[in-house]
Chain A
Amino acid sequence: MIELRFHEELYDGFAIDEAVKTYAAYATAELSRDGGAYVVKVTAKPEATSEGIDERVLSAELANYALGLTIEKARSGGAA
């Protein structure tokens, strides 16, 4: 399990939700909030690890996807 922390002022909560849904086929995620941060605990599914997908890479890609969506939302006028 890998814990990702996203600062609330820098990441959009909806973007994180969307990223988690996008990677749902490969990982299970537990979402919570703690001290001004969105916390996502990512665990790669056995099917994904059996295909050779590394849990760290999966988590990093999920974080990148969340950041990308946050930036796109900020550019289109949404709050980050």
Chain B
Amino acid sequence: MSDMSFHLGEGSVRIEFDEDLYPKDAIYGAAYVFIDRCWVHLDRAGDRRIQVTLKAKKAGADTQAFVGEFQNELLGQTWRLRIVEENKKLIESITARALGGAAGPPGLDELLAMDIGEETAFEDPLGIAMSWEEKYKKKGKAEGTKAEAEGAGENASGGEKAS
């Protein structure tokens, strides 16, 4: 069975869609766009199939063109829904952080009540929480200082042995 079919009637057109491919919300979205130009009616044409009937409000309108327009609109609506679904967690996370920030810094009691550990501590992939000295320290200088410190330690222990 085709996932999409249409039937032209007298001044009206019927289109059927498979709900597995085009979700109900996308069909709603496309129907809403046509509501000013057409009388739109939705019905079930079977299990998981939705039938959309479009009847032009203006006499002499090209109903066949409505079919193509509706299908294009439906595809756009389906795609938008998919993008919203994919970005839902990201949007929720950003909103939660924004609301958390707006509430102001936590009090001492709230900090003590927090379960902060290795697993629950927030991730810092950009190194924002790192101190400036830690982030930009010169590796060569740091290694040289370390070597000097080790050398001094050895000398000190050697001195002890000599005495």
CA distance A60 to B50 in the complex (A): 19
Are B40 and A80 within 8 A (Cβ)? no
A33 located at the interface, meaning its Cβ lies under 8 Å from any Cβ of chain B in the complex: no
> How many Å from the CB of A69 to the closest CB on chain B?
11
A11 located at the interface, meaning its Cβ lies under 8 Å from any Cβ of chain B in the complex: yes
Given contacts A64-B35, A68-B32, A74-B25, is CB(A7)–CB(B40) below 8 Å?
Answer: no
Are B42 and A67 within 8 A (Cβ)? yes
Interface size on A, residues (CB 8 A): 16
Inside 8 A of B50's CB, which chain A residues have their CB?
10
Write the B11-43 contact mask toward A (1 if CB under 8 angstroms, else 0): 000000000000011001101100100011111
> How many Å from the CB of A27 to the closest CB on chain B?
15
Inside 8 A of B40's CB, which chain A residues have their CB?
64, 67
Interface centre among B25, B42, B43, B55 (most CB of A within 10 A): B42
CA distance A41 to B56 in the complex (A): 22
A30 located at the interface, meaning its Cβ lies under 8 Å from any Cβ of chain B in the complex: no
Write the B94-123 contact mask toward A (1 if CB under 8 angstroms, else 0): 000000000000000000000000000000
Interface centre among B28, B35, B55 (most CB of A within 10 A): B28
Inside 8 A of B55's CB, which chain A residues have their CB?
60
CA distance A68 to B40 in the complex (A): 9
Write the A42-80 contact mask toward B (1 if CB under 8 angstroms, else 0): 000000000000000000110110011011001100001
B44 located at the interface, meaning its Cβ lies under 8 Å from any Cβ of chain A in the complex: yes
Are B39 and A7 within 8 A (Cβ)? no
Are B24 and A10 within 8 A (Cβ)? yes
The residues in B between 46 and 96 inclusive whose CB is less than 8 angstroms from any CB of A are 50, 55
Additional A-B contacts beyond A10-B43, A67-B42 (12; CB < 8 A): A7-B42, A10-B24, A11-B42, A60-B39, A60-B55, A63-B41, A67-B35, A67-B41, A68-B32, A68-B35, A71-B29, A74-B28
Residues of B within 8 A of A (CB): 24-25, 28-29, 31-32, 35, 39-44, 50, 55
Residues of A within 8 A of B (CB): 5, 7, 9-11, 60-61, 63-64, 67-68, 70-71, 74-75, 80
Cβ contacts A to B, 14 pairs, < 8 Å? A7-B44, A9-B44, A10-B43, A10-B44, A10-B50, A11-B42, A60-B39, A61-B39, A64-B35, A64-B40, A71-B28, A71-B29, A71-B31, A74-B28
